Structure 1
Amino acid sequence: MDKQLALSKRNHGLDILRVLACYMVIQVHAGEFYYIGNGGMILEGCGPLWVDIYNSLCRTAVPLFVMLSGYFLLPVKEPMKDFFRRRTVRVVVPFIIWCALYAIYQYFRGQADLATTGLNILKIGINFGVEIGHLWYIYMLIGLYLFAPIISPWIANASRKSMQFYLCIWALSLFVPYIHLIFPEFLGECFWNHTPLLYYFSGFLGYMILAVYIKKYMSQRKKWHLPVSLLCIIAGYLVTAGGYATRLKTVILVPDLELTWGFETINVALMSFGLFLLIKDIRFKNPFSAPVKIITDISKLSYGIYLIHIMVLNFYFEIFNPVWDSVGLKLPCIAISTFITSYLLIKLLSLFPRSKYIIG
C-alpha cells in the first residue's frame, strides 16, 4: 500500500525527463563513432551531418541531469554529515567501482597491459583513472554536491528578484563562448588570470539554480508554458544544429566544430529550459500502468545505466556498424539497443544484495 501511495504521488514528468536525459546521453556517445576521427580530426562523409541532425537536441542531456539534481536536492535541509554520507554511498562508491571495472575492461579489450591497468586504478583519485570520457560528469556532479550545502542557506532565503539577478548574470556568461570568437580575452581574461568578471556566475551551478527557480516560481502549469517551451526548444535547436552545420564547412578539428554544442552556451540552456518546463508537468491518468512502472524503474536505475552504457555501446557498435552504410540507420539502432540492454543489465544487478554500492 505504501508503495502504491508513493507511486501515485510521484512526479512522473520528472521521471520522464530523467529517462529522456539518460537515453540522450547514450545517443550522443553513439554519435561519436561517426564524427570524431584520429587526432581530433572531423571524419569525412555524411556521418557528421547525421550526427548533427540527431544529436543537437541531445546536448541537453547533461544540463537536464544537473537540473534534476538541483530540483530535488536544493536547498539541502538535512545535516551536512548525513547529506555527504548519502551521496558517498549512492554516487561516489559506485563511481570508484566502475572506474576500476573500466580499467579491467580496457585490459581485456587489449587497450592496456596489466601494469597500465594497475596504474589506471591507482590514478582514480587524480582524474578518470582510465580514459573513459563519460566519467567526467561524475567529477563535476561531486563538485556540485560539495557546494550544495554551502549555497543552500542563500537559496532557502533568496527572494525572487535575487534569484533572477543571479540567473540573468549566468545567462550573460552563456554568451561568452561566442564573444570569444571576436574577443579571445574578455572582461579580465589573460594568460595569468583565469577567473574573469563572470567566472563566479558561470558553470553548471546555474542549471541547478534554474531548476530551483522553476520549482519555487513556475511549479503550477500556466497557459504560456507550452508556447514558451516550444519556442525555446526550436530556437535553441536551430542555433545548436545550424552552428554545427555551418562550422562543419569551415573547421577541421572536433573542438572547433562543437562550439554551439557547448553545455555553457545560451542555445543549449534554452533547449534545456524548454524541455524541463514542457515535460515536468506531464501526468498519467493511471500511475499504476505497466508503462509508467517501467519509466519509474528506468528513472531509479538511471545512474547505473549511465555508468555501464559505454561497455554495452562498444558491443553494439561492433555489431551494427558493418550492417548498413547509412549512419542515419546505424546511430539510432546502436543507441536504442544500448539503452534497453543497459537497463536490463542494471535491473538484473539491482536484484542482488548490496547492489546499491554498484548501481547507486
Structure 2
Amino acid sequence: MKGDRVFSLDLLRVLACYMVIQVHAGEFYYIGDGGTVASGDGPLWVNIYNSLFRTAVPLFIIITGYFVLPVKEQMNIFFKKRFTRVLIPFIIWCILYALYAFAMGKTDMEGIFVSIAKIPVNYGVEVGHLWYIYMLIGLYLFFPVISPWLNNASRNGLHFYLIIWAITLLLPYIHQVFPEVLGECYWNPTSLLYYFTGFLGFAILGFYLKKFCTAKSKWDLPAGLSLIITGYTVTYSLFASRLGTEELVPDLELSWNYGTINVAIMALGIFLVIKNIKCRKDTILKKVITSISIMSYGIYLVHIMVLNFFYWAFDDIFSTAAIKIPLLAICTFLVSYIIIKVISYLPKSKYIIG
C-alpha cells in the first residue's frame, strides 16, 4: 500500500531492475555460438560493467525477505495474494513469449502449443529470464514453513543460520579443488550443508536487516562501500583471469554465480549504502521511483522483447560493446517502463503486470 512504501527500498528495487536488464544486454557480447566465450572486446566490457550488477537477483530477494518475512497471514490468504500477483502474469507472459517466438519465425504453430504445455515443466530456452519466477514461487511456498521459526528466532539464532549459509557461499570455489565435499557423490547431491544453501539465505538476510539494521549507523556507508569494493574486485578479477583459459561460458562465469560469497557481500554492501537514502514527499523524483518500483515485475517480464528490438536496431550502428551495452540497457529500461505503465491503465491490468 502507498503508506507502506520505503523510498530507499523502492530505489533499490529500481536499481536492481535496471541491473538485470544491463546484465541481459551484455549477454549479446560475451556468449558465442554453442555457449562458447565470444571473441573481441565484448567479454572485457561485460566484465567491467556487469560484475557489480550480478547483485540484481540477490537484491530482489533481500527486498522480498525484508517485506514478506515472517508471513503473518493465514497460509491460504498468503498464497492467494502472492500467487495472484506473480503466477497469473507469469503464465500470461509465457503464452505471450510463445506467440512472440512464432512472430519472430523461431517456431511454428505446434511449437506454440508445446511451449505453453511445458510451462509446468520449465521455461523455454528463448525466455530464460523466467527461471527467476520458478525460484520465487519456490521461496513463497517455503516462507510459511520457516516463518514460525523467524517469529521466535533470537539474534544469535539468525547469526547461526547466516554464518553457515555464508560458508556455503564458498562451495563454488571449493568445488574447483574438491568436486565432491561433505558427503557429495554421484548418488547423493545433498551434502552436509545442503539445507543451508541457496536463495533462501538472501531472504533471511533481508529479514535480519529489517529486524536489526533499519536504524541509521555511521558505519553503514564505509562498511557498505568496503563490501562493494572487495566483492567487485574478487568478482571482476576472477572473471578476467578466466577469460584467457575458459572456452565455455558456464566455466567463465564462476565468480558471477549468485551463490558465491563475493556476490553476496556486494549485495549486502549496496543495501547498506542505499538503505538510509530518503526523499521528501511529493517530489517528482519520489513519484518516478515509486512508479517504476511498482511496475518492476512487469518490466522484468516484458524486457526481453524490448531488448531484442534494440539489439536489432543498434548493433550495427556502434562498433564497441563499451557503448552498446549501456545504450541497449537504458533504452530497454525506459521503453519497458513506458509499455508497462500504459498497460497499467487497462482494466484488470494486475493480472498482466502483477
What TM-score comes out, normalization by structure 2 length?
A: 0.99
Aligned match of 1:206: 201
2:65 to 44, 51, 70: 70
Aligned match of 1:308: 302
RMSD: 1.0
Aligned match of 2:345: 351
Deviations 1:187-212 (A, max 9, x none): 11100001001110000000000111
Give the Å deviation of 1:129.
4.4
Contact 1:124–1:130 under 8 Å retained in 2: no
Matched, 1:164 2:156: no
Q: Could you list the runs of 5+ residues in structure 2 that have no partner in the other structure?
A: none
In 1, the alpha carbon distance for the partners of 2:347 and 2:341 equals: 13
Give the Å deviation of 1:130.
5.3
2:234 to 239, 262, 274: 239
Aligned match of 2:333: 339
| Paired positions, count | 354
1:132 to 110, 124, 127: 127
Aligned match of 2:275: 280
AA at the equivalent of 1:323: I
Q: Could you list the runs of 5+ residues in structure 1 that have no partner in the other structure?
A: none
Runs of 4 or more off by more than 6 Å in structure 1? none
In 2, the alpha carbon distance for the partners of 1:277 and 1:215 equals: 11
Aligned match of 1:177: 172
In 2, the alpha carbon distance for the partners of 1:46 and 1:130 equals: 26
Matched, 1:265 2:260: yes
In 2, the alpha carbon distance for the partners of 1:124 and 1:251 equals: 33
Aligned match of 1:293: 287
Matched, 1:81 2:88: no
In 2, the alpha carbon distance for the partners of 1:146 and 1:292 equals: 33
Give the Å deviation of 1:10.
3.0
In 1, the alpha carbon distance for the partners of 2:203 and 2:289 equals: 23
In 2, the alpha carbon distance for the partners of 1:312 and 1:131 equals: 14
Contact 1:120–1:129 under 8 Å retained in 2: yes
Aligned match of 1:23: 18
What TM-score comes out, normalization by structure 1 length?
A: 0.97
AA at the equivalent of 1:82: I
Give the Å deviation of 1:128.
1.0
Contact 1:15–1:295 under 8 Å retained in 2: yes
